[in-house]
Copies of this chain bind each other. A is one copy, B any other.
């Protein structure tokens, strides 16, 4: 048995969650990673999540299958075209079509159940409120409200045995700072995938909002992005 405390870490296979995982381990936690297979068009993400977890030496990695396609309405799960070549001005206006209804709320709810079962009171999620494409469920006020609800939801919270803490170590960092921090911690970004619309063999398009934010982040960090682009 380890003396370390356990933390549940949501790992998508993207750049942000790979960095959040490294930060959880750096904070001294034993990492229990959790990924979701949610009918996303970019199933390549899950393969990346597995590699990221293996490289960073997590204690356990569980995958949860859920079908968000039941609800439709997003370019990440349905047949809507992913927007390409938008400038940062255009990206910052409103909430994009790539928004998935209540996605982080669903993910955090499974993480909460997993944490309670493990006897853990710590959950890490790599949300970001700066260059984040406008998702409402990435904002600090949302996370604070989630944490408050979680502490009323669970047996452990009610019995006063533990208070759940939702860690969001990236929430106020720029993409460039996230990348620098990750590189310092030994994150291998070759294993990550950020593209909303990858081609065959998982090659990133370089044009969707997510690719553009990633490329800009590497540029500003003064480092070459190690993945392949179309």
Binding site for B on A (CB under 8 A): 62, 64-68, 70-73, 95, 99-106, 108-110, 112-114, 116-117, 136-137, 139, 141-142, 145-146, 148-150, 152-155, 157-159
Contacts of A99 in B (CB 8 A): 155
CB distance from A230 to the nearest CB of B (A): 30
Known: A100-B113, A105-B150. 10 other contacts (CB 8 A): A64-B70, A101-B113, A102-B113, A102-B153, A105-B113, A106-B109, A106-B113, A109-B109, A139-B152, A146-B153
Main secondary structure of the interface of A (DSSP, over half): helix
User: B152 near A149 (CB under 8 angstroms)?
Assistant: no
Q: Which residue of B lies closest to A95 (CB)?
A: B155
In the assembled complex, 21 residue pairs joining A and B whose CB atoms fall closer than 8 Å, in A order, are A71-B117, A73-B116, A95-B158, A101-B112, A101-B117, A101-B155, A102-B112, A103-B113, A104-B153, A105-B109, A106-B106, A106-B113, A109-B109, A136-B154, A136-B157, A136-B158, A137-B153, A141-B152, A145-B148, A145-B149, A146-B153
Contacts of A145 in B (CB 8 A): 145, 148-149, 152
Q: How far is the CA of A95 from the CA of B105 in the complex (A)?
A: 25
CB distance from A58 to the nearest CB of B (A): 16
Q: How far is the CA of A109 from the CA of B100 in the complex (A)?
A: 12
Q: How far is the CA of A226 from the CA of B67 in the complex (A)?
A: 36
Known contacts A113-B106, A149-B146, A149-B148: does B154 contact A101 (CB below 8 Å)? yes
CB distance from A61 to the nearest CB of B (A): 12
Q: How far is the CA of A102 from the CA of B158 in the complex (A)?
A: 12
Contacts of A110 in B (CB 8 A): 102, 106
